[in-house]
Amino acid sequence: PWVPKIMKPVLTMRRELAALPDLQKKLANKETEYSDFTSKAGYALSLGLKEKEIFFFGGMQWLAVAIAYLLWTQMLFWIPPEVWEALSDQDGAGPIDLALTAWAFVCVGVAAFPIGIFSGCMGVTHFLHKQGRASTVAMCLKLSLPNAWPLWAFHWTDGWITVRQIMNRLPRDNDTRSPAQKLYEEALYYAWKVGIAGVLPSMVLGKGMIESGKESIAFVRQHAKEIIKLRAAYSGYCWILGVLAYVAGIPLMMYLDDGTGMGNNIAMFYFYMAVPICFAVGLIMFFLRPIYLLSLCNLYSDYLKANNKTVQLPDNPPRAISALVVFAILCIAVLVVFYFREAIGLAEILSTV
């Protein structure tokens, strides 16, 4: 998959990580250290009870995902039913497929900005706590926003890789991949997730994309086993919620099937799937993700201490206005496409097979 040039070292490292026996064991035997994850939850929950803004940050990330998903479903309604019917008999949709992919990419980018900022805020809460400083929503935003550019670029890249992997996991008729190929793709995906484990805490401490990527590689090399266990458990819980959301869609599909064909129902199906999807994502963003991120930050603190690295969060960081301006421009562009799709010719493209 495409990643920014400065993240290439992490992408290259994933092949090395994918071959690690610990990672292969987790994938092949479905071995998941749930007990290890729940033991790590103690620190995150205790910190959450002390610093309740953590749950606010999780809620804002959930809201960002929900809005982005509902925004993506809108384009499905712009495609006429007869076009959907025609596309069901084709392997590729040409311009329509490209338009849907581009729209999905933009929606991921819209969600990535708040997710990046509020994920950074979670990390800031941890480091403020470690330094014995007060943590508030305003203080966390003040320390997270200066890193808006790298946080946004990183979460946009990671979000797009995640969305693609989720789509690849869904059953499809023309899937020619062997079980070995699917397992290898999963190994590469997990290796990517393991490889970027140190990027967020490094960015929270003020490092840029290049330095954070290098720092993450060094962090993972020293704590590969612990990170793999933590990631496997986190992913295992996410898998369970994902499967439950998928199962919830089966009766929904049966209910919406009125016998008139896929074209009349596909957009409505994905729209109503927002209910189980957002419920599952809510559990992840409110509980699982904070535990995972705070556990990584805690492990990263141990890494810094073991390597005699002392890092202090700045008291008066510089403001980051440019990233906010670009994000606002992106949102305006999305609104222009949404409201003026006929004037810009998008409606015509989506109406032609």
Alpha helices (H) in the chain, listed in sequence order: 8-18, 21-28, 34-50, 53-78, 81-87, 95-130, 137-144, 148-169, 179-195, 199-204, 209-256, 266-272, 274-283, 289-306, 321-339, 346-350
Say yes or no to pLDDT of 146 above 80: yes
Cα separations in angstroms, 301 against 44, 58, 143, 304: 14, 22, 18, 5
**Of the candidates 163, 31, 170, 173, which has an alpha carbon nearest to the alpha carbon of residue 88?**
173
How does pLDDT run across 4-46, given as a tens digit for each residue? Answer: 555 555 555 555 555 555 555 555 554 445 556 666 677 777 7
- Determine the Cα–Cα distance for residues 121 and 16; give it in Å rounded to an integer: 31
Length in residues, the chain: 353
State the pLDDT at residue 94.
80
271 alpha carbon, distance to own chain's centre:
20
- Confidence class of residue 204 from pLDDT cuts 50, 70 and 90? very high
Query: Which amino acid makes up residue 33?
Result: E
Do 117 and 151 form a contact (C-beta atoms < 8 A)? yes
Among 1, 10, 6, smallest CA distance to 220 is for 10
> 233 vs 109, which has greater pLDDT?
109
Residue appearing with tokens 């899937």: 175
Q: Distance between CA 192 and CA 152 in Å, rounded?
A: 17
Where are the domains positioned within the chain? Answer: 5-350
Write the DSSP assignment of 56-79 as a string of letters.
HHHHHHHHHHHHHHHHHHHHHHHS
Number of neighbouring beta carbons within 10 Å of residue 257: 13
**What is the pLDDT at residue 240?**
94
Q: 241 near 276, Cβ under 8 Å?
A: no
Nearest to 280 by CA among 253, 251, 243: 243
Return the structure tokens found at 339.
């409201």
Cα dihedral across residues 298, 300, 302, 308: positive or negative: negative
Q: Which of 306, 296, 315 is nearest to 133 (CA)?
A: 315
* Residue 124 CB neighbour total at 10 angstroms: 26
pLDDT for the residue 289 = 95
* Confidence check: pLDDT of 169 > 70: yes
Specify the amino acid at residue 270: Y
- The rounded distance, in Å, linking the Cα atoms of 54 and 51 is 6
- The pLDDT of residue 258 is 67
Give the residue from 332, 281, 240 showing the smallest Cα distance to 66: 281
What does the pLDDT read at residue 10? 54
